[in-house]
């Protein structure tokens, strides 16, 4: 499988390294306005591949992305600590207008995986600009938020985070919703697990933890700069689902209606989004999700492509 990564910043570079180590990727192309940086990232990885396995790695112009299976977009205006992901929207939309035509020209049969923020809106814009079938243009969505929820619950319940199957839906950002009704511990509904095991949680535990899921990315930023390792792992998980035709369920940015995208569980395989997964959320969760959708739709409608 051939992967092209647009953007050689920390997320793009870490993603290239992560994907260079898997057995289902045999070619990676790295594109950046700073072509020398992209070449440096490629060379840095190439120097170690004799210790891993052979992968073709290129860096240069968009002609090198020709016939890519998946194009991962990580380029964008960086966020500011404490600032909503919706703020840099217009600048990132303008960037998409310059790069999407080059992607569609060189890889007309590929899939786009959007990582840049605000990811739900930018995924929608990428689909609108490309004109591709919406199932072939997906965003990383709340895949990472759900993983962060798994980590935090594992920490608090003192269990392996791999035994937690948490779900965050809605906007990848301020209005995201932790779907507690869909969150399980080794297949046991969260509330039932807590009750069965005699665990006492604070009255505001769910509210506080949902806020921590949103805030923890900024905590990392203040400690070390941009989140990149966790993002690359989330990207790798989505790419794996596509490459291996897994039909696995992941909360990605997808077309919820014709008017915009939002993060919601979907079956992911070689075609992209095979189908949306229906949920039975509580009335409160559904209301919050509807509000999140309305927020995304309102902001998206203010941008002129």
Q: Is 247 annotated as a binding residue?
A: no
Residue 12 known to bind ligand: yes
- What tokens appear for 125 in the block? 């814009």
- In the set 172, 175, 234, 261, the catalytic residue is 172
The answer to whether 109 is a known ligand-binding residue is: no
Residue 8 assigned to a binding site: yes
131 is annotated as contributing to ligand binding: no
Kindly state the tokens that stand for 87: 């703020």
10 is in an annotated binding site: yes
Q: Is 40 annotated as a binding residue?
A: no
Does residue 53 carry a catalytic annotation?
no
Q: Is 266 annotated as a binding residue?
A: no
11 is in an annotated binding site: yes
Establish whether 7 is an annotated binding residue: yes
117 annotated ligand-binding residue:
yes
Q: Kindly list the catalytic residues.
A: 172
Binding-site residues for NAD(+) sit at: 7-12, 32, 92, 115-117
Residues tagged in the binding site annotation: 7-12, 32, 92, 115-117
């Amino acid at each position: 499988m051939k992967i092209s990564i647009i953007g050689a910043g920390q997320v793009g570079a870490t993603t290239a390294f992560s994907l260079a180590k898997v057995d289902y990727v045999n070619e990676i192309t790295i594109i950046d306005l700073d072509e020398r940086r992209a070449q440096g990232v490629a060379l840095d990885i190439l120097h170690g591949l004799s210790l891993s396995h052979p992968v073709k790695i290129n860096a240069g112009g968009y002609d090198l992305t020709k016939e890519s299976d998946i194009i991962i977009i990580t380029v964008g205006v960086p966020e500011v600590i404490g600032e909503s992901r919706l703020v840099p929207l217009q600048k990132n939309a303008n960037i998409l207008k310059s790069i999407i035509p080059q992607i569609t020209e060189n890889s007309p049969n590929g899939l786009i995986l959007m990582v840049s923020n605000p990811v739900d809106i930018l995924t929608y814009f990428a689909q609108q600009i490309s004109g591709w079938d919406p199932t072939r243009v997906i965003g990383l969505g709340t895949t990472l938020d759900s993983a962060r929820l798994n980590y935090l619950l594992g920490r608090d319940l003192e269990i392996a985070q791999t035994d937690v199957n948490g779900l965050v839906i809605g906007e990848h950002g301020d209005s995201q919703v932790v779907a507690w009704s869909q969150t399980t511990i080794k297949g046991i509904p969260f509330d039932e697990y807590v009750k069965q095991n005699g665990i006492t949680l604070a009255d505001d535990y769910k509210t506080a933890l949902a806020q921590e899921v949103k805030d923890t990315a900024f905590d990392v930023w203040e400690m070390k700069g941009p989140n990149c390792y966790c993002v690359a792992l989330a990207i790798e998980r989505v790419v794996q689902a596509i490459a291996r035709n897994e039909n696995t369920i992941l909360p990605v940015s997808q077309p919820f209606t014709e008017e915009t995208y939002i993060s919601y569980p979907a079956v992911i395989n070689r075609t992209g989004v095979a189908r949306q997964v229906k949920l039975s959320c509580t009335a409160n969760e559904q209301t919050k999700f509807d509000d999140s959708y309305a927020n995304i739709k309102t902001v998206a409608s203010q941008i002129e492509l």
